[in-house]
Amino acid sequence: MSEWALLALGGLNLLLLVLLLRRSASPQEQAQQTATLLAEQNAVQAAQRLAEQTAWLQQQFGHLQAQSERLERELRTEISQSSVQGRQEAMQNLTLFQQSLLQQSAEATRTQNQQIDALAQQLALLQKA
């Protein structure tokens, strides 16, 4: 039964093909159909190019995002290291300042002690005289 159905469909297909071949289109209709087909092909090609360009742009955007994130991480790291170095330098400067103050204070104390000892000796000499 299915063989007969396939045979009938094949015959119908052949009949339609013969009818299409016998029907001759005018040159204007053929030119219009050709123009329509060309326009459709151009539209399909333009859509394909647009899809390719969109995919490329999305890929480039992804690369830019990754680079931006990497730069942000590097910048944060650099700022962190810079602030640590700044604090270390400030601490070293304060330590040097503290040492200088201690040295000057010790020197002033020694000078004052020497002056007091000299005054004590002069007083002792004055008391003996």
- Along the 129 residues of the chain, how does pLDDT read in single tens digits? 567 766 677 777 766 666 665 666 666 766 776 777 678 888 888 888 888 899 999 999 999 999 999 999 999 999 999 999 999 999 999 999 999 999 999 999 999 999 999 999 999 988 987
* pTM (global) more than 0.85: no
Q: How far apart are CA 52 and CA 45, in angstroms?
A: 10
Q: How far apart are CA 47 and CA 50, in angstroms?
A: 5
Q: How do the residues of the chain divide into helix, strand and coil, expressed in percent and rounded to 5? A: 95, 0, 5
33 Cβ contact list (under 8 Å, min separation 6): 25
